[in-house]
Every structure is written in C-alpha cells, then in structure tokens.
Structure 1
Amino acid sequence: MALTIKEIENAKPKDKKYKLADGGGLCLLVQPWGGKSWLWRYRFDGAEKNMTFGEYPLVGPKDARGLHYAAKKLLATGVNPMAERKAEAEAKQQEVKALEREADSSFEKVARKWWTWWSIGKSPRHAEILMNRLEADVFPVIGHLPIDGVQTGHVRDIMLAIETRGARDVAKRAHQSIGQIFRFAIARDLASRNPSADFRPRDILAAAKTENFARVDEKDLPELLAKMDDYNGDALTRFGLKLLAYCFPRTSELIEAPWTEFDLDQARWIIPPERMKMDTPHIIPLSHQAVAVLRALKLLTGNGALVFPGAMDKKKPMSNNTLLYALYRLGYQGRMTGHGFRGLASTILHENDYEEAHIELQLAHMKRDKVAAAYNHAKYLKQRAEMMQWWADYLDAQLAKGRRALTA
C-alpha cells in the first residue's frame, strides 16, 4: 500500500533508523535525527544494491515513485541503475569541467591575461585606451568564443565594422592587438594558431588618404638650395633651413632642440623619447656639413638653452612657421615645406640603393617593439652615418649646380 502524506508526516524518529514500505521495493527511510529519504533495494548480478531518490519533502512521493519506476525499467533491460546514474553524473561533471575550461580559454579571458602582462611598463593612459577598444570593438564579437574557435573571418569582420565608422587606423590597431593576443596564447599553449596572420590590414581595408606635403622635384633641388644659401633674412632662419636639408628632421624636432642634445665632437644629435613619436631616443648622425652649421650656430645661441630661441622670448623656441614662411619668401609657397625635405631624402636615398631599413629608421618611421627598444635607436648607426654623409655631399653637389645655373 502506498504511503500517504499523513503517514509520511507522522513518521517520527526513533533510536534507530527504520523504513516504511511504499510498494514495489520503494520505502521511506527515517533517520534518528528526523531526516527522511526515499530508498530502493534491489538485486543485480546476485548482489544487493541500494539506490536513493532524494530527501523528503524536497522529493515528494509522486516524484519518488516516478524515479523508482524509471529505475525498475532500466533494471529490467539488464542495466544496473546505480552504475548508469554514476556514469551520467561523471559525464555531467566532465561536461561542466569542459565548459569551465572553455570559459577559461575564451578569447576575452586570454586577452585580459595578455593585457595584464603587456601593460607592464606602458603608460596607464595608453593601456586604458587599448582595453577600451577591445571592450568596444572586439569582445562583443569574439570575446565569448574559445580562443581556438576564432576564425580569420571574425577578425576581418571586426576590422571592416570599425572601418565603416571612418576609423581606419583603429581597425589596423585592432588587427595588431588581436595578433599580439594570439602570439601570447600560442607561446603559452593556450591557442594553436593565429588567424590574424592570414592577412594584412591592407588586404581588406580601403587605401588610406595620404597627406602629401608639398615638395619640389629632384630636378628643382639645385635652384632651391642656391636660393636658401643666399637667403638674406635672419641668420638663424638660414641655418635652420640648412639643417632641415642636411638632417631632414621634423620641423618641431629641430626648432625645439636644446643644445644638450648635440654632441658635436661625436657628430651626433640624440633626441630623447619624450620629444619623439616613439618610446626610444632617436639618433641623427651629423655630417661634416651639419656639424659646421651647428658650430656656427653655437657662436650665436650657444649661451642659451635652445639652438633656435624665439626672437621675443629666448626661453621659447622660434615659431613653427618661421622656416615655412622663409620658403614662401623664396618663392616656394605651395611648392615646398620643411617636411618636404624628408620626402625628398627618402625618395633620393631609395633611388641610390640605400637600404630601406636604414632610411626608415633615420626618418624615425621604423617600428620599435618592446624587445628592441633598449638598443634599436642605435641600430645600423655606422651605415646611417655613411648614408647621412653621402646625403650632405649630394646636397652640396646640387647646391654647386644651382649656383652655376643662377650665375650663368
């Protein structure tokens, strides 16, 4: 006879545990402390087995009888219900562990581990910006995926979505950051491949609109140099134009330079990282001609801090437009800028078979990663010094050609 709710509720604890039969081998086990649970005793392969179906009242009699019936059906097929339950429990446990492993190896989890490792030594502002971009553009798309589940198409789609809002450079940096995360993961056996390595940003992003700084053609260089040499304005301006040509720095790097950056005996100009667009110093080997110009300048401004002090306030550098307006007065408005010497140097040095790495590093275009930061500023220094001397000699030859043309 099946137990009623009243009988179950009225079953009081005794000194020893006891059972109340519910039928078909199912019973209610009452413990001395008052606990009540559903128990089924059965035989399998000649041995007695016990199987529980939960505690009352969490499992009521109706649910207990349903579980009991299902177990009896399983037993009738020759399967041990307890062994089956154990196998199911182990399978669920493995599934949970697999999900946990998957969560730990999700792209976002790995990316955050990478960020913690990568951000050491970086400026807090830079590190924050990078994480904000990951959270805004990358994690919503692939953050939840197992890192090995990220495909090339995912990376492409992220970049194209960023590009559509007009942020091409951000799209390129997303590609770079994703690649760094995967390299970090591969090095630690957290991923097997890097899907971002399957293509370069230029393979999918539209060509960038480049800003072309005005500059003369090589054939017009002799006349320009001759007019610069004859410039009858302020001597500082004339010397500044010469150094722009000989050293091809950015204009701001030149006019803001203090004398402490120059070692004329060693023929080097060392610009510290805080004045550069990078995290390492930049060395400009000085040609004989550049040293001569700087020694002449030393007589004019060597008692002050700045090589090119302003006309009104000697503690401030000359105006950024001073050299540009001098080119205007020479008749080169819209035809030449201070930055134009950088483009001319790059073109002519390439055409004369100088190594691209030497040229790019001298232009301060060379990417400098964390590993190389300690020495990269001095890389190829001997070759660059020879290249800069060739460039100065080339300019002098062009100047001589221009002088001949002006006096002809």
Structure 2
Amino acid sequence: MDLQFSRADEGPLIMASESPKSGLSPTTVDRARPREKAYKLSDRDGLYLLVKPSGARYWRMNFKLHQLQRTASFGRYPEVTLAEARQRLIEARRLLKQGIDPVHQAKLDKVAASIAAGNTFRLIAEEWLEKMRLEERSPKSIRKCEWQVSLVLPDIGNRPISQITAHEVLLSLKKIERTRKFYTAMSVRALCGQIFRFAVATARAERDVCVDLRGALVTPKVVHRPAITMPKHVGALMRAIHDYDGARYTNIALRLLAHTFVRPGELRHAEWNEFDLERAVWIIPPHKMKMRRPHTIPLSQQALAIIGEIDHGENFSTYLFPSIRSTKRPLSDNTINAALRRMGYEKDQMTAHGFRAMAATLLNEMGNWNPDAIERQLAHAEPNSVRRAYTRGQHWEERVRMMQHWSDYLDQLRGGAEIIRPQFGKREPKLTLV
C-alpha cells in the first residue's frame, strides 16, 4: 500500500517551542494569533494547526494514499481541543493502515449520521403501521396499535431509533405504570419491540433494546374473562336469551353466538357471502380472524334455523347484523354486552366473549371430543411449534358432530332437562345428576 505522511506545504511552517516528540501544548495553540498570510503550527505524527488570516484555526493532516496527495480535516479550534484532534488523528491513521481514505470515510459517516437522524421512532412506527394496513390487519387491531404508539411518541417519537436506549423506553413505560395500567405498559413494551425489530430488519437499527426490559415492568395479574360454565346456569342464560324482548336482531345475534361461540367481532362483521347454507358452513376470511387464517365453522340445524330468521338479504346489507344507524356498518361492538346487562348479567358474570369459555369448558368436561378438535373449533393456534407441524388435520368430521351435539345440548339445558354427566374414577364410571 502506497502510504506516506507529509509535512505541511502550504506557506511557511512555524515550529512550536516544544520538541517534536512532545508536539504542541494547549498554551501554544491558544496563543496562536493570525498573520498576514496563513501559517501552520506542527504537532506530532503529521498533525498541524492551520491559522488563517481571519483568526480561524483548523486541525489538519496531510497524507498521500495511492499516489494521491490528500488533506484530512479534524475540526476547528477551540471547538476541537488539542487532545481531541490527536484522538481523531489516531483514528485517521488507523483507517489509512487499512487502505481507507479518512476523508472519504468522514463523508460517508456524515451521510449515515444524517440518514440515522431522519429515521426517527415516529417515522419507523408509521412505516410499521402502514405494513399492518397492507397486510389487511383488522381495523380494530390497527386502531389499538396506533393508540399504543401514541403513548410513547411524546418521549421517544422524535429520537433517531438507532440512538434510543432501553432506559429511555423504560422511562416512557414507567409513566404508563404510574397510572396503574400495568397490562397496557406490558403491551406497549411488546409493541415497541416489534417496531425495533422492524427497524433492525430494514437496516435502521442494530438491535431491539426492548429485550433488555424483560422483568423491569410490573407483571399484571391475569384476569380471566367472565363466563358461565355451570350447566344449570347455562340453561338459565339460554332461557333469558330466548325470552329477551329487546331488538329482534340482537336476540338473533345472541342465540347464534351461543351456538357457534365465535369471537364477538367475527359475529358482528359476518357477511352473507361467507355462508354456504346448502353445505351448512360459515367460512370466515383470514383478514377477519385474530390469527390471520381462514376459519370454517360447521353450522348445526339450530344455527341454520336461527340464520333463517333474518328477514333481509345481501341487497339490503352485506352484513347479517347491520347497525341500526347504517346498513353499511356492522352491529355496534357494545350491543351484545348491553343486552346481557339488560337481562341482569353483570360484567363480572358474563360477556359476549364468555360464550367461548362456556363452550370450551363444557365440551372438554364431556370427555367425548378430542381436545384438538375443540381448540380448532375455537380457532386457537397450537403454542408448541413442533407439535403444530404434526397436527395439521382439521378434525372436520368430528367438529361437525360436535357442533350439532353442542346445539342439542344447549336446547336440552334451555328446556330444563336433567343432564347426566359421567364422573370417571379408577374403576367403572359413576353417573350423577346435575
């Protein structure tokens, strides 16, 4: 490699009073005064101070790389002190030993710094949210993420994402914790982690700093959704729903929810084109599902009869349960819960989502159905990735029988029938009346 350090060759060279080994002193640099022509004060290892007639003083180094004469600039005195200039000289010489032009590298670093400064957390978060929209995530999920992002934007929104530290994120999350919203704080930490990982994947950050915050936040107490799971109480609930004297479509929606136990949002957004009534199936498209996978629901005879009570078609509204204010919008997300309250069920007793827990509990207690079939009907994902790879079956035939049995069971409970349930012991099953 052709590498040489040269003495200054622009104008007269003025040597400092110190020996070449010691170089300049801070006092000598500070007392350097302008002259009619620019001059230089030589330090050690090729570093020198260029003093302009205007009084401006600059740190420089001349070098030759690949037969080209170049000058590296290390900043202006006093913004850059003698010690700082020497440190920058060392870094430049290290680059030169690798065959890298420090002048060119400085330009690249400046561009990179400019780009990094523009890649703020706010900008990356908006890109990530737009990615969610393009993936056709549910509007409700996107709105929730937008709200969670807004909680940390005042603190880190305008910071370059590559410069944000774990401590900065923690301080922002602690503000949420101080309002006793522990679950929200945990959820926002997870969301910030997704944004940081997106920045890493798009070469705007080195790592996800939120990983360092594991264990730093208060773990919220798990509160299970309220649900009715005692058979005699389920019977009372079904009778209350059957006798509900509120809006007709709310009554139909409540009954269909009980017989299909889908998520409330999936029921509210149900559209006519999702149903094949001749084949007795309801196919919910991926963009409406929590796990973004299509979900097929066998419809029992009772479910088909309930749908048959709806006296409008797709020409009136694409939704089975349109809003009372507009046929272009689905039923309000609070309608079903409000109906349950009107029937006398408090929010800590039963909710629209509770029909899923009700079905899961009772179907598992029956002991007649494969747990995988029940989980598949609930559209739950297998948490174990290895096991998930070997359980790809849909358990369709069993689910068809199970859903018809579930509807028959609900009708029996509503009619007040005594349900015989087995209690399995070590020997013969013992039957008891519930």
Q: What is the TM-score when the length of structure 1 is the normalising length?
A: 0.54
Aligned counterpart in structure 1 of residue 176 of structure 2, from 148, 162, 179: 162
- The alpha-carbon distance between structure 1 residues 175 and 355, as it changes in their structure 2 partners (threshold 3 A), is farther
How far the C-alpha of 1:285 sits from its partner, in A, is 0.7
Count of aligned residue pairs for this structure pair: 327
Residue 309 (structure 2) pairs with residue 297 (structure 1): yes
Residues 98-136 of structure 1 deviation map (CA, whole Å, 9 limit, x = unaligned)? 863773575872646744653545559969767755531
Residue 368 (structure 2) pairs with residue 358 (structure 1): no
How do residues 181-200 of structure 1 correspond to structure 2 at under 5 angstroms? 181-187=195-201, 191-198=205-212
CA distance in 1, matches of 2:253, 2:335: 12
How far the C-alpha of 1:283 sits from its partner, in A, is 3.9
CA distance in 1, matches of 2:329, 2:199: 49
CA distance in 2, matches of 1:356, 1:159: 38
Please state whether the residue corresponding to 2:372 is helix, strand or coil. Answer: coil
Aligned counterpart in structure 1 of residue 34 of structure 2, from 57, 60, 73: 60
Aligned counterpart in structure 2 of residue 396 of structure 1, from 408, 416, 428: 408
In 2, are the aligned partners of 1:269 and 1:286 still within 8 Å (CA)? yes
How do residues 367-382 of structure 1 correspond to structure 2 at under 5 angstroms? 382=394
CA distance in 2, matches of 1:295, 1:338: 18
Please state whether the residue corresponding to 2:218 is helix, strand or coil. Answer: coil
In 2, are the aligned partners of 1:272 and 1:282 still within 8 Å (CA)? yes
Paired position in structure 2 for 1:54: none
How far the C-alpha of 1:279 sits from its partner, in A, is 10
Looking at both structures, which has the greater relative contact order when contacts are Cα pairs under 8 Å and sequence separation is at least 6? 1
Structure 1: stretches of 5+ with no match in the other structure: 1-36, 43-57, 368-378
Please state whether the residue corresponding to 2:282 is helix, strand or coil. Answer: strand
- The alpha-carbon distance between structure 1 residues 81 and 251, as it changes in their structure 2 partners (threshold 3 A), is closer
Moved more, 310-319 or 190-199: 310-319
- The alpha-carbon distance between structure 1 residues 39 and 266, as it changes in their structure 2 partners (threshold 3 A), is farther
Structure 2: stretches of 5+ with no match in the other structure: 1-9, 16-31, 50-59, 64-71, 75-87, 93-101, 135-141, 384-390, 420-432
Paired position in structure 2 for 1:248: 261
How far the C-alpha of 1:207 sits from its partner, in A, is 1.0
CA distance in 2, matches of 1:381, 1:197: 35
Higher helix proportion (structure 1 or 2):
1
In 2, are the aligned partners of 1:358 and 1:384 still within 8 Å (CA)? no
In 2, are the aligned partners of 1:323 and 1:338 still within 8 Å (CA)? yes
In 2, are the aligned partners of 1:237 and 1:326 still within 8 Å (CA)? no
Residue 165 (structure 2) pairs with residue 150 (structure 1): yes
How far the C-alpha of 1:89 sits from its partner, in A, is 3.7
How do residues 164-313 of structure 1 correspond to structure 2 at under 5 angstroms? 164-165=178-179, 168=182, 171-172=185-186, 174-187=188-201, 191-198=205-212, 204-207=217-220, 210=223, 212-213=225-226, 215-221=227-233, 223-224=235-236, 227=239, 231=243, 239-249=252-262, 254=267, 257=270, 259-270=272-283, 283-294=295-306, 296-297=308-309, 301=312, 305=317, 307=320
How far the C-alpha of 1:216 sits from its partner, in A, is 2.2
- The alpha-carbon distance between structure 1 residues 85 and 128, as it changes in their structure 2 partners (threshold 3 A), is same
In 2, are the aligned partners of 1:358 and 1:380 still within 8 Å (CA)? no
Please report the RMSD computed on the Cα atoms of aligned residues, expressed in angstroms.
5.7
Moved more, 223-232 or 389-398: 223-232
**Match for 1:340: what amino acid?**
G
Name which one, 1 or 2, has greater alpha-carbon Rg: 1
CA distance in 1, matches of 2:306, 2:282: 11
How far the C-alpha of 1:386 sits from its partner, in A, is 4.5
Q: What is the TM-score when the length of structure 2 is the normalising length?
A: 0.52
Residues 156-203 of structure 1 deviation map (CA, whole Å, 9 limit, x = unaligned)? 343223332455565345423432343234435555543323565x86
How far the C-alpha of 1:273 sits from its partner, in A, is 8.3
CA distance in 2, matches of 1:185, 1:236: 46
Paired position in structure 2 for 1:51: none
Residue 149 (structure 2) pairs with residue 137 (structure 1): no
CA distance in 2, matches of 1:282, 1:144: 39
How far the C-alpha of 1:96 sits from its partner, in A, is 4.9
Please state whether the residue corresponding to 1:404 is helix, strand or coil. Answer: coil
Residues 326-381 of structure 1 deviation map (CA, whole Å, 9 limit, x = unaligned)? 8966x76775454431231344456663379736636xx999xxxxxxxxxxx979
